[in-house]
Amino acid sequence: MGGKVSCTLGEVKNRADLIVYWGGNPAECHPRHFTKYSLMPKGRFVPNGRKDRTMILVDIRETASAKAADIFLQVRPAKDFEMITVLRALIKEQPVDTKLVAETGLTLEELTDFAQRLKKAKFGVFFFGMGLSMTRGKHMNSAALLTLAAELNAFTKFVAMPMRGHGNVTGGDVIMRWTTGYPFGVNLARGYPRFNPGEYSTIDLLIRGDTDAVLVLGADPGATMPQPAIDHMVRVPTIVLDPKVTHTSKIARVHITTAVTGISAPGTAYRMDEIPLPLKPPLKSPYPTDEEVIRRIYQAVAKKPPLMPPVRPKVPRV
């Protein structure tokens, strides 16, 4: 188990005849996902667009996206992992525990039909949202679904993709990977990257009080994070770079107003499928860009006496 079997969104547009949204509500959170990438467009091998595709929505409640679905499967809250496990057994024609099936809130008939559709698809895709990845089980749910997608490739072509949320969060992952080797939560205190989710992740650092200064960029944790985390940001020097004075700015020691990404700040952003796109800002901001301010902070720190003794670098022995 492990890994990710995925594709760029154009593959879905051109080929997918079975589209499954799991724990996400694209109709309200990613409004053009249906029309631009997945459900509606006429693709190279699905020339009739919507008519050539089947859409199944799996969620704990009937959201606005259910209207667009051919089949809606209402899973009992926090039973996604169990449901995926049953499906993994069904596609391999393994016997399943009826008690376990009952727990999912769905009938064996519904699940068997679902499993059959997954196997019979010419090109199937799972798009999974925070309803799967941020509820009980968290990354284990995502891992289970990714494994189901990988295993389906024994029968047909199947891929899976997370419905990444806000703005350029994907770009952050991509850039941290090439500069540090890890996608998030990277500790550089020893001068080289270390990774340990749960230890070096933001919420944990804040709630435990491990960090003694916070620089917040392109986010407003003061509005969204658990109270103990916010309390710690109040205690330590917090610095915010944002186009607006945010909730976090109000608890911060320093706020710097910056230009708006893609509106008055140029650069690059990554799409959820990790395709980089150029930004074309139409406006000229009276404020500096984040890039410029961060670089200036860097230069201001670099002028101070070095934190580590200036050791002569070694090319490590191989």
Cβ closer to another protein: 99 or 166? Answer: 166
The least CB distance from residue 283 to another protein, in Å, is 4
Tell me the C-alpha distance between 44 and 315, whole Å: 51
Tell me the C-alpha distance between 110 and 131, whole Å: 20
The least CB distance from residue 147 to another protein, in Å, is 10
**Site residues (CB under 8 A) for another protein, limited to 57-96:** none
**Site residues (CB under 8 A) for another protein, limited to 223-242:** 236-237, 239, 241
Q: Give the rounded distance of the alpha carbon of 316 from its chain centre.
A: 35
Note whether 145 and 158 are within 8 A (CB). no
- Rule CB under 8 A: is residue 40 a binding residue for another protein? no
The least CB distance from residue 206 to another protein, in Å, is 8
- Rule CB under 8 A: is residue 214 a binding residue for another protein? yes
Nearest to 167 by CA among 275, 271, 74, 297: 271
Cβ closer to another protein: 73 or 259? Answer: 259
Q: Which stretch binds another protein (CB under 8 A): 51-59, 75-83, 95-103, 252-260?
A: 252-260
Note whether 266 and 279 are within 8 A (CB). yes
Q: Which stretch binds another protein (CB under 8 A): 32-40, 52-60, 66-74, 107-115?
A: 32-40
The least CB distance from residue 284 to another protein, in Å, is 6
- Rule CB under 8 A: is residue 169 a binding residue for another protein? yes
User: What is residue 22's three-state secondary structure?
Assistant: strand
Which string of DSSP letters, residue by residue, matches 220-240? -HHHHS-HHHHHHHHHS-EEE
Q: Which stretch binds another protein (CB under 8 A): 30-38, 49-57, 78-86, 103-111?
A: 30-38
Q: Which residues pair with 265 in a beta bridge?
A: 261
Cβ closer to another protein: 104 or 249? Answer: 249
- What token pair was written down for 28? 């309200």
48, 95, 190, 227: residue in contact with another protein (rule CB under 8 A): 190
Nearest to 297 by CA among 215, 233, 222, 219: 215
**Site residues (CB under 8 A) for another protein, limited to 133-162:** 134, 150, 153-154, 156-157, 159
Size of the site for another protein (CB under 8 A): 151
- Rule CB under 8 A: is residue 49 a binding residue for another protein? no
User: What is residue 203's three-state secondary structure?
Assistant: helix
Q: What are phi and psi of 116, to 5 degrees?
A: -60, -40
40, 74, 165, 231: residue in contact with another protein (rule CB under 8 A): 165
Burial class (CB in 10 A: 0-12, 13-18, 19+), 110: middle
Tell me the C-alpha distance between 261 and 268, whole Å: 9
50, 103, 195, 247: residue in contact with another protein (rule CB under 8 A): 195
Residue appearing with tokens 């309803």:
131
Cβ closer to another protein: 95 or 316? Answer: 316
Nearest to 153 by CA among 73, 87, 109, 91: 91
**Site residues (CB under 8 A) for another protein, limited to 254-283:** 254-257, 260-272, 274-283
9, 19, 58, 101: residue in contact with another protein (rule CB under 8 A): 9
Tell me the C-alpha distance between 126 and 38, whole Å: 11
The least CB distance from residue 108 to another protein, in Å, is 28
- Rule CB under 8 A: is residue 197 a binding residue for another protein? yes
